[in-house]
């Protein structure tokens, strides 16, 4: 695991597919690990075939690489380069909603979409789903990812009301903020 300049990254989260920027405090989800001081990592239980290895480190960004896994053989020298993306520039928060957000242009307006919900989080239990389009938070329309993140942030265990568009319908969800890590 390295930065764009080739410097090793210690403590990056690594797993299969996209790695969330926000997770509940506690143990890592199954199938995820962190990098060593030299940027090395070991994933176990990966099935043979073509896989995407994803990584994330707060303040550095996301990265991914495609790898072919062979049965009963160790795959080494896997290099993942982390680079910044817009939503990674958000400040770390102590209490929020454990979701990864992206934004896109939807006919001249900024649309905030949930791309990932942390498993076993209050967000998952509260009913938010990947693919939901966030239209309002506590009654305020969202103007982008930074605005949405700011509104999701608040005192631990306090509730936030999130309005989402899902399958052509508007759904209102009340979700407890929890301690998160970025």
- Cα separation, 89 vs 95, in Å, equals 17
The total domain count for the chain is 2
* pLDDT at site 38: 92
* Whether residues 52 and 114 fall in one domain: no
* pLDDT at site 162: 97
The CATH number given to whatever domain includes residue 49 is: 2.60.40.1120
* Strands, E assignment, 107-181: 109-117, 133-137, 140-141, 159-166, 169-176, 178-181
Looking at 88, 107, 135, which one is the last position of a domain?
88
* pLDDT at site 94: 64
Q: What is this structure's pTM?
A: 0.62
* Whether residues 97 and 172 fall in one domain: yes
Looking at 71, 88, 105, which one is the last position of a domain?
88
Query: How would you write the pLDDT of the chain (182 residues) with one tens digit per residue?
Result: 888 888 999 999 999 988 888 778 788 888 899 999 999 999 988 888 999 999 999 888 889 999 998 888 888 889 999 986 544 344 444 689 999 999 888 888 789 999 999 988 999 999 999 999 999 999 999 989 989 999 999 888 889 999 999 999 999 999 999 988 76
């Amino acid at each position: 695991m390295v930065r764009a300049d080739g410097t090793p990254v210690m403590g990056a989260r690594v797993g299969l597919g996209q790695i969330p920027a926000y997770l509940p405090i506690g143990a890592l989800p199954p199938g995820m690990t962190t990098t060593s001081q030299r940027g090395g990592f070991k994933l176990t239980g990966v099935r043979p075939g073509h896989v995407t290895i994803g990584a994330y480190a707060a303040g550095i960004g996301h990265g991914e690489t495609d790898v072919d896994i062979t049965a009963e053989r160790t795959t080494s020298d896997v290099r993942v380069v982390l680079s910044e993306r817009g939503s990674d520039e958000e400040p770390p928060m102590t209490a929020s909603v454990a979701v990864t957000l992206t934004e896109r242009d939807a006919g001249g307006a900024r649309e905030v979409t949930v791309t990932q919900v942390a498993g076993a989080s209050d967000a998952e239990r509260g009913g938010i789903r990947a693919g939901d389009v966030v239209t309002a938070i506590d009654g305020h329309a969202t103007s982008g990812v930074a605005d949405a993140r700011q509104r999701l942030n608040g005192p631990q265990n306090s509730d936030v009301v999130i309005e989402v568009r899902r399958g052509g319908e508007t759904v209102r969800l009340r979700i407890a903020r929890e301690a998160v890590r970025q």
